[in-house]
Structure 1
Amino acid sequence: MMPALSALDTMLADIRVAARTPLDDRPAAVAEAIRPYLDDPRLLAEKDCPCCPDRYIRHLLGEGDGYAVVALVWRPGQMSPVHAHRTWCALGVHRGVLSEHFFQAGETPCPTAVHLRGRGATSHGPASPELIHRIANCSAEVAVSIHVYGVPFADFAEGVNEVLA
């Protein structure tokens, strides 16, 4: 008898299937693949995902054909830079509450909206210089989010974010 797959292994298998969706539908499909696992407290039980005192930190959870899955750990007050994406992305909140701030493109990006993303919430988008946002942990507790980007983990430094501010 084979042992049951962990929640993380099952989520990674579902992401693998969703990542084969045609490109226009892929970010939404991957976000939907993540959604059922976000409330599972066992999701990251087998992974050590410590905080970093200086900035949010990414922990590799898995990779597939042209994409990587990471857990981002956010201490209170930590945030990403204002950025657009060079690749498609999908994310879901596993623990805590994050704020996703959206900006209008321009010489200086101008804030246009903010959405609170609590546990179980997802967001996604295509590669687009016009889709500008920032993720922030404005709460008083550590937050953890699951992100899938359409590039291998080794290419994250240059392949994911177009930092604007």
Structure 2
Amino acid sequence: MTRTLERHLAVPDLLPAEARVADPERYRQNIVHVEPDGSFSIVALVWLPGQQTPVHDHISWCVVGVYEGEEAEIRYRVEDAAGDEVHLADGQMPDPEDGLRLVRIAEVTNPNGSADGFAPPGDLHRVWNAGEGTAISIHVYGADIRELGSSIRRTYDLPER
């Protein structure tokens, strides 16, 4: 599916004007399409320079492609005090009092025209626009984002080890 999305990232007028609208306060999610049965959604995320997500994981699989600009990303895993990897159960929230820490496992730059995919678990990351202009990424989620409001399952306010 990443190759399918990549083929569309070079189409100049792929996104309507309303999907390209930014918010000066934070990155903005603009819903482009939700399949009638709710099986998937297409969302454009619009980022002004320096805007970023918190460290977070997701409610479903996702294929994401950078349509304009570039995005920086740090990927993480969660470890306990003994250094063992931890996967949180549904409904469980990350708690620093439990000795949990974030560990960086990769730092990448996703350039214009690139696409990638992920699925829970193992989808823990922070993303931001590190460029000087607007960045836009197209996300295809395996969920009804209009119904859910966001693709974020939970955020992680944990110290880094």
Q: Shorter chain as normaliser: what TM range?
A: 0.7 to 0.9
Map of 1:60-139 to 2, 5 A cutoff? 60-64=31-35, 65=37, 66-106=39-79, 107-128=100-121, 130-139=122-131
CA offset at residue 148 of structure 1? 1.0
CA offset at residue 82 of structure 1? 0.6
Using the alignment, how far apart are the partners of 2:34 and 2:147 within structure 1?
A: 12
Using the alignment, how far apart are the partners of 2:13 and 2:33 within structure 1?
A: 16
CA offset at residue 72 of structure 1? 0.4
Q: SS in structure 2 opposite 1:105?
A: strand
Q: Which runs of 5+ in 1 are unaligned?
A: 1-28
Q: SS in structure 1 opposite 2:17?
A: coil
Runs of 4+ off more than 6 Å: none
Query: How many residue pairs end up in the alignment?
Result: 134
CA offset at residue 62 of structure 1? 0.7
Partner of 1:151: 143
User: CA 1:159–1:37 in 2, change beyond 3 Å: closer, same or farther?
Assistant: closer
CA offset at residue 102 of structure 1? 0.5
Q: TM-score, normalising length from structure 1?
A: 0.75
Instruction: Determine which structure has more spread, i.e. the larger CA radius of gyration.
Output: 2
Q: SS in structure 1 opposite 2:125?
A: strand
Partner of 2:30: 59
- Does the 8 Å CA contact 1:94/1:145 hold for their aligned counterparts? yes
Higher relative contact order (CA 8 A, sep 6+): 2
CA offset at residue 156 of structure 1? 3.2
Map of 1:21-60 to 2, 5 A cutoff? 29=1, 31-44=2-15, 46-48=16-18, 49-60=20-31
Q: TM-score, normalising length from structure 2?
A: 0.76
Using the alignment, how far apart are the partners of 2:128 and 2:108 within structure 1?
A: 11
Q: Which runs of 5+ in 2 are unaligned?
A: 80-99
CA offset at residue 155 of structure 1? 3.3
The aligned amino acid for 1:63 is V
